[in-house]
Structures are given as structure tokens and as C-alpha cells.
Structure 1
Amino acid sequence: MPNPKVSVVMPCYNHEDYVEKAILSVLNQSYKNIELIVIDDGSKDGSPKLIEALANQYGFKFIVQENQGVCKTLNRAIQEFSSGEYIAVLASDDYWDSNKIEKQVACLSTLDTSEFCYTQAVEFDSESGRELRVFPKKLMVGNVLNKIFVRQHVPAGSIMFSRKLFDKLNGFDERLKEEDWDFVIRAAAETEFSAIKEPLFFYRSHALNTMKSRPRRQIFHDKAKILSKNYSLVSPHIWLFSVILHFFYDHMLSILKR
């Protein structure tokens, strides 16, 4: 298909200050065959009113629901409201470069063996706008399962994948907190990865980021669930190395932050 439709799914929860920039970064993409689906997941601030006004102005799909969490929201948006051949996910406090989707569609269209594409990302400070880092420095392509299992190197807001892959994986696992890493691991077991060495995704660092507000012990516990669940996908020595590495990394971070 020369001009495939891309469904962009954006869950929102209490991001009144950021969601408009996120939405406009999708609507201003150079690639035009895009459908945007925004789901407000029970926000308590002014997000629903703001998004509704933008939806009326620009004509994208907007759904309001009681709070269900990220995983259920993503699955519902993709399964019930989207129709694109490709799917991309963007958090409502982040945003994209205007050429992101066009470059990813071009990349996937030339690779018969890949149904998953990601890009580099820029992490920036929300208050000052200062660039904190560009990541990952080294991009993994092809068969990346072992590397992905040992360490998550894929910025979640940069990924684009085929609907065929999403259906094959039965979507995001609603039992887990680290749903993006689990999804990426399972995707890597099914398809080769492609990547664009260019920061096309902008990750906002602020106090309300989920990863920043959760205790390190809880993060490791959630990671351990994913490693245990996906044990059969890799060799025993890769699994053991990953467990040790994650425990050491999270334990050292907790010590440094005391």
C-alpha cells in the first residue's frame, strides 16, 4: 500500500498544560493520511474541555472514559476506534517532530522483514526547555530480542508498528505496569526492528512523570514480572544476566538517591 493510514493513539490523564502541544504535533505532521484518537482517562483537571474544543476545531476522534489506566486505554483505543494499517502511540505530555510519521512509513515500506520502527528521542526539562540527552546513542536493528531483553533501549513514544503485529501480540498486557517494555520484548520475538537515527520524539521530563513518581523498589518488582513472564523467549543465561543487571542497576540508583 503506497499511502497507508496511520492511527495515532494518545491517552491523556491530567495533562492540561501539555496536551495541546502534543495534539498539534500530530496534526502538523508532513504525512497526512493519519487518524488521531485521543482518550481522556478520567482527568480531574481541564484536559477534557480543552481536548473537546480542539476536537471540534480539527475533527479528530475524542473519547472520555472513567479512569482505567494506560494499558486498558491503549487497547481500547486501538481495538475499538482505530482503523490504520500502522499504529503509533504518543503520551499527552510529549510531542513529535513534524516529519516523524513520514520517515517511519518510508522506512517500514522498504523493509519486508520489519513491522516495528523506532527513532531516537530528546529528553528535555519541562520548566527550562533545556535538552538533557539524546537517546539511545546506539540503535539496534534486525533481530534484537536478546539486547531488548537485557535492556530497554526503545523510547516508547517513538515506536510505530503494524496492526498485524499488534493483533498477533494480543495488544498490551493489562496486568502489567511496564506495558511498553513487555510489548517491545514480545514484538522483538516476532519481527525484525528498524530504526531511524534521528531524534524525532521529544520526551518531557517533569515531576509528574510516572517513572519519576514511582518508588525504585516498585519499578524493579514490575520489571521482574515481565522478565518472569517472558522467560521462555530467550536462553537461560540471557534471562539470568538480565535479572542481575536490572537488580544491580535499580539497587544502585536507590542508593544514590538516598
Structure 2
Amino acid sequence: MQTRYAQAKKNIVNRFIIWTLLLFTNITIAQSDKQFLSDFLLEDELKSGNQHQELKQYDFSNIWKNTPNEIIYGIIGEDHQRIRVKLLSINKSFDNPNVYDVYGKSMVKGTVCDFFGTITIKKIKEVTELHFGVDNEYKNKGIKKQGIIIAEYSFNEDAQQKHSGIFKGKLFSKWYLNKKDEMEYDDIQSISDSYKNNAFIGIWKSYSTGKEKICNWADWRVPNANQDFDIGAGEFSVSEKYWNKGWMDIALKNQVPNGAIVREKSNKKTKEWWE
């Protein structure tokens, strides 16, 4: 009888510890999301509520597929190994206006994988005041609305390919509605040192081992990286500590700026890594 009582008491204590850990984990994640959102918005503020219903009829796919791949930077794992991601096809679902079907490719250490998946919009929020850039450059461009998308993504790599797995997480994107009533990628504040867009923040989980790794990427800057990773002020620059993790070309570019290295020109088209 005493043994059963002791075991029951132990189970209750264990459940309490688990629930306490989950509570603090959720609080920590919420605080982390709040801090990221504050940094992501720069000095913008958002309207209260969710403007999803009035804006869900628009097609946001243009925002996610037109960024030049050379300014999309990503990390995988605690050691911040470089990952490259290219979204090749994004189509709004006919069945659900909140869902976008995605096809793309990833590359780590020269290994390229195909992936298929979805981006699912959870919130569409507008800013309280429109921003128009330096010297109000965009003030007379007819911008109707500006804001951010908060979405969830899930991309499944081809299980038949080497070192494949699943990408999952949250996506934060900036947009504006132009005078033609079309959704545009909001790079108006890209001159800001800390500007970033299309921030994918989440994990990659291996099919073979089940092991999870942090995996974040975005336009212009890497989100939620170690504090000693990006040492750039005016532009993205990687600390020497991480150069051997796939970042040597960025290091060379930043050390020899303004076209100081002249490469031999060729009429032959260079094949991109995803082609």
C-alpha cells in the first residue's frame, strides 16, 4: 500500500514538473517571438486585431518568390552551418485562400534536396502609420496599406535524397498594397541596417535520425542567430569563427568591396545551384 502511495505521489510530482517546464518554455517562446517582432518591425507599430478577413482575397505569393537568392541567408544547427533555400514555385490553393502550395530546393555542404509543402497564413496585420522611406520617397506612389503576414510553413524534402528531412516553423513577411490593388514586397526600409524580410524561423528534423536542428533564413539578414554571428553594421557580415561553415564567400566579399576583385568575363551563363 505504501509503495503504491509513494509511486502515485511521485507521478504527481513528475507531472507538476513537466507542466511547470512546459509553462516556462511557452513563456520563453512568447517573449522571444515578441522581441523578434519588435526588431522585425523596426519602428512600425501594428493595429490591434487581425485584418485577415478583409485581406485574405489578395495573392501574397509574389512576396516570397522574387528575392534574388544571393541575399537570402540561412543557418542550420547550433554551429550555424550555412543553408541555402530557393522557393521555385508558390501557388495559392484553390481550396483554401490561407494556404499556398510550395516547391523549392535546399542545399547544405553541396547536397541539394527537393522539397514540397505549404505556407499557411495565420494573421495579416496592418501598420498604424504608413512608412515611405528616406525623404518620403514613396509618399506619392499610391500605397494603400502596409503590414506584415504571420504564417506557418511545413516543407517536406524528398525522402529518397541524402540527408533529407522536414522544415517547420513560423514565417514573418512585410508587404504593401499598391495603387493597382496588388500586393508588393515591402523593401522600402531596406536601407536600414537591421532590415530583414521573409524571415523563416523554425527547425529541420531528419527523417533518418529524428534529430532536430534550428534552421532559420531570411532576406538580407539571418534571424535569431548567435550574437557573435553577424558582425556587420551597414550590411550582412559573418564573424571569422563561422567562415568554415560555408560563409567564406561572404567574408571575401566584405573584405574586398566595391569591385576591387575583377573576375574574367564570360558569355557562358553560370548555372545556379538549384538548376
> Structure 2 length normalisation: TM-score?
0.22
Q: RCO (CA 8 Å, sep 6+): is it higher in 1 or 2?
A: 1
The structure whose residues are more often helix, as a share, is 1
**Structure ID, larger Rg:** 2
The structure whose residues are more often strand, as a share, is 2
